[in-house]
Amino acid sequence: MAVELLPRPGELPQLQSIDVFGGTLPYSGEVGGDHIIYVDFKQRFDLRARIARAEAEGRPDIADNLRRCARSAGIALVDVSGHRVSDALLAAVFHQAFLVGAAYELDASGQITRHLFENLNTRFHQSSGAHKFISLLYGEISEDSTFRFLAAGHPFPAVFSNRHDRFMDVSPELCRSFPPLGIQPLFDTIDREVLGDSVLGFKDLYQTNEWTLMGAGDILLLHTDGLTEHQAGVESYFPHRLENVLRRVKHQSAREIYEAVKDDLVRFAPPTDDVSLVVVKKLV
């Protein structure tokens, strides 16, 4: 079956005071270009063994980074342009490349760094056609409610405040974004001579953004553009109708919030694109 092309996203992150749940509504049948990957470091990797090895090798920096990983989890949202089985296959290729790279990153530095995404960007630039690209949001949520993320051609997360009962504005200084993966190679890459000229130019080094969920009950929504661009005629679903749904269900679990949004979105209008949504809720 086509659905077997896509690897499973992984176990839902289990963090103190953080509740996570998400899913995807494929536009065309069972598969599409959207994909979610969860990286609960303590579930995917033997952090205890890695910490012991780092300490035995005299690398306290790596050991400290691995300890921080034990209190955080990564979430990747991938959106491959298109809705065909071939697009799902490209998402599956990204899934495996990302996890292999993540393992190397933990071995080398004890954490996932921007270098992984620089390498993925170069790889997909060399192997994908100009008409095919991957938008990506990768973020790590910590038990202290800090969310650090990289956005490459992807909608920014939305933050719903439990106290203020609405979406919060985020300073543009905290919203750095980059082109989708595969569109532009890094300007300062060591492989510049091999890559040659780029029709669409070159990009700068990836940078991350850092946000903090301040209050109990605050909700962070990670989503693809299938949600932000969802419409019924000329009426948009995002942000006002979505905000009303969150006001109604904000006291429920992340899974219940996700299900409420999914059901309301379909009632509002039939989706015309893949829709992915991950709900991250601060419990206390």
CATH (domain of 203): 3.60.40
Report the SS3 class of residue 174: helix
Number of neighbouring beta carbons within 10 Å of residue 283? 14
Whole-number pLDDT of residue 1: 43
Considering the domain boundaries, does residue 261 fall inside one? no
Considering the domain boundaries, does residue 220 fall inside one? no
Number of neighbouring beta carbons within 10 Å of residue 203? 20
Considering the domain boundaries, does residue 150 fall inside one? yes
Helix, strand counts (H, E) of the chain: 9, 12
pLDDT in tens for each of the 284 residues of the chain? 445 557 889 999 999 999 999 999 988 766 778 999 999 999 999 999 999 999 999 999 999 999 999 999 999 999 997 667 778 888 999 999 999 999 999 999 999 999 999 999 988 887 765 556 899 999 999 999 999 999 999 999 999 999 999 999 999 999 999 999 988 877 666 666 666 566 667 788 899 999 998 899 999 999 999 999 999 999 999 999 999 999 999 999 999 999 999 999 999 999 999 999 999 999 98
Considering the domain boundaries, does residue 90 fall inside one? yes
Considering the domain boundaries, does residue 219 fall inside one? no
Closest CA to 83 of 277, 279, 271: 271
Q: Which domain holds residue 198?
A: 2-154+169-214
Contacts of 189 (CB under 8 A, 6+ apart): 118, 122, 195
Asked if residues 68 and 111 have their Cβ atoms less than 8 Å apart, the reply is yes
Considering the domain boundaries, does residue 236 fall inside one? no
Considering the domain boundaries, does residue 84 fall inside one? yes
CA angle (213 as vertex; 109, 281 as ends), nearest 5: 95
Total domains, the chain:
1
Whole-number pLDDT of residue 57: 97
